[in-house]
Amino acid sequence: MNFLHLKYFLMVAEELNITRAAERLYISQQSLSNHISNMERELNVKLFTRSPKLSLTYAGDQLVQTATQILDLHTQFLTKVGDINRHYLGVLRVGISHTCGLALLPEILPRFREEFPMVEFSLSEGNSNQLEDELSHGRVDLIICFQPIMLEGVETVPLTEQKLVMVVPRGFTDQLFGGRAEEVRAQFQQGADIAAFQQMPFVLIKRGNRTRSIVDQYFSRYYFKPKLILETENTVTTLAMAQAGVGITICPELFLRAIPAGPAGSQGVDLFPLTDPSTFSKLVAGYRSDRYLSHFGDRFITMAQEALEP
């Protein structure tokens, strides 16, 4: 049994379908079936039951855990050797939210690819909870997200501190304050008064998102109940709705880099920061302390820090 056998076994265990697994591995079904049968003979145990449909046996389930650890250790060893020899070959697997990636990666990736042309870059996108799950199972090497990271055994590197910003359609400000709109804009650029927007519609990211949790706590602190007309999984959608004059949204200032162009005829948006310390959050890079972080992984974090410098 070798690394290739373990790789083939894990693919079948993931798909629980020989045909799909063979297609993903670019080998014939017969060849893949022979590999699995040979492993079972060598181990003298059944790894799969074939009827009524393919499923893992108890021994197969145990091998999934062991094979994953073996292949992961092998990958870490090859990364260490590559760093020692300065070959810098391999793959960097990064977990990041969609909007954070949209704001950061266009600046970081070209530099990273230029410095490490032989390193493959793999991206996993999700919310903070999903990214922590990916990190805990070793499916990514590092994540970029807002604190706190709830997963134990994670080393964090601070990237930047972020304020939350109210993104308000300019028409709302004009409607609320009339002739005083410009005076209020200047005043609120130093810190928004959330109470002034009590009657205005809001478009927010769905609950379960870490930013939304901070926003909800802020609302509670100021006894503010937003007139919520839309919730979405995607921050870019909330920004687009603000640009279109649909509603107010709140997001970290970094995400303003991803704000889409407004529709024809739109008046644009006002950006009013929230100054309550409870709304400040730290963006960090996190990686497991029990896993080797490659030189190019460390460089990626440094590039992120440089991209976020004021």
At 81 the pLDDT is: 72
Pairing mode of beta strands 142-146, 90-96: parallel
Domains 3-71 and 164-279 belong to one CATH topology: no
Instruction: Quote the pLDDT of residue 140.
Output: 94
Give the domain 164-279 fold: D-Maltodextrin-Binding Protein; domain 2 (3.40.190)
**Tens of pLDDT along 138-148?**
889 999 999 88
131 burial class (0-12, 13-18, 19+ CB within 10 angstroms)?
buried
The percent of residues above 70 in pLDDT, for the chain, comes to 97
Asked whether residue 260 carries a pLDDT value surpassing 90, the answer given is no
Residue 149 above 90 pLDDT? no
Kindly report which listed range (35-39, 122-126, 202-206) carries the lowest average pLDDT score: 35-39
pLDDT attached to residue 175:
93
The arithmetic mean of pLDDT across residues 271-275, rounded, is: 94
Stretch 273-301: mean pLDDT: 92
Q: Where are the domains of the chain?
A: 3-71, 88-159+285-307, 164-279
pLDDT for res 71: 78
Q: Could you say which architecture CATH assigns to the domain 88-159+285-307?
A: 3-Layer(aba) Sandwich (3.40)
In the predicted model, is pLDDT for residue 214 greater than 70? yes
Mean pLDDT (whole number) for 129-133 = 91
Tokens of 252: 């970290």
In whole angstroms, how far apart are CA 142 and each of 157, 235, 247, 293?
Answer: 11, 22, 35, 8
Mean pLDDT of the residues in the chain: 89
pLDDT bucket at 265, cuts 50 / 70 / 90: low
Residue 173 pLDDT level (bands cut at 50, 70, 90)? very high
Rounded mean pLDDT of 189-205? 93
Which alpha helices (H) appear in 116-169, and where do they start and end?
Answer: 128-136
User: Rounded to an integer, what is the distance from CA 87 to the centroid of its chain?
Assistant: 28
Considering the entire predicted model, what is its pTM?
0.72
CATH (one of 3.30.70.260, 1.10.10.10, 3.40.720.10, 1.20.140.150) for 3-71: 1.10.10.10
Q: How confident is the model at residue 208 (pLDDT cuts 50, 70, 90)?
A: confident
**Looking at residues 228-234, what average pLDDT do you find?**
93
